[in-house]
Amino acid sequence: MNREKIFKFVFVVLLLTYLSLYFAGVAGYYEYNNYKKMSLTEEQIEKFEQDVKDGKEVNVEDYIIEEKKVSNNKIANLGKKISFTISGSLSKVLSSGFKTLSNFITE
């Protein structure tokens, strides 16, 4: 009986985690963060306006600043590996769980 409660609790936690990440992706949270990273700074806007006034050839790529955070250390790499492992495992578990659930429903 105790194992059953633990299993249900773990399953609910994993399901809620999966759903929250899924809805964050659907809602455009990650796309919005990427958009913010590539926005023009005030200085770049002024530079762009000056170049237009001067009649120079204008290319948007020259004014976009991409800030990349470098996190290539052992802890970050370990976190990435754990994250990918959990993600792959959770996807497999949920897929098989939903297949099983659909088999129960269709029977």
**Which of the two residues, 48 and 72, has the higher pLDDT score?**
48
Same domain for 98 and 82, yes or no, is yes
Same domain for 30 and 45, yes or no, is no
Nearest to 36 by CA among 16, 64, 61: 64
In this prediction, residues 5-15 reach a mean pLDDT of 87
State the residue range of the domain holding 89: 71-107
How many structural domains compose the chain? 3
Same domain for 81 and 101, yes or no, is yes
Same domain for 6 and 33, yes or no, is yes
Strand (E) or helix (H) holding 64: none
Can you give the pTM of this predicted structure?
0.35
Nearest to 51 by CA among 41, 40, 60, 64: 60
Contacts of 30 (CB under 8 A, 6+ apart): 24
Q: Does the structure show a pLDDT above 70 at 95?
A: yes
Same domain for 33 and 1, yes or no, is yes
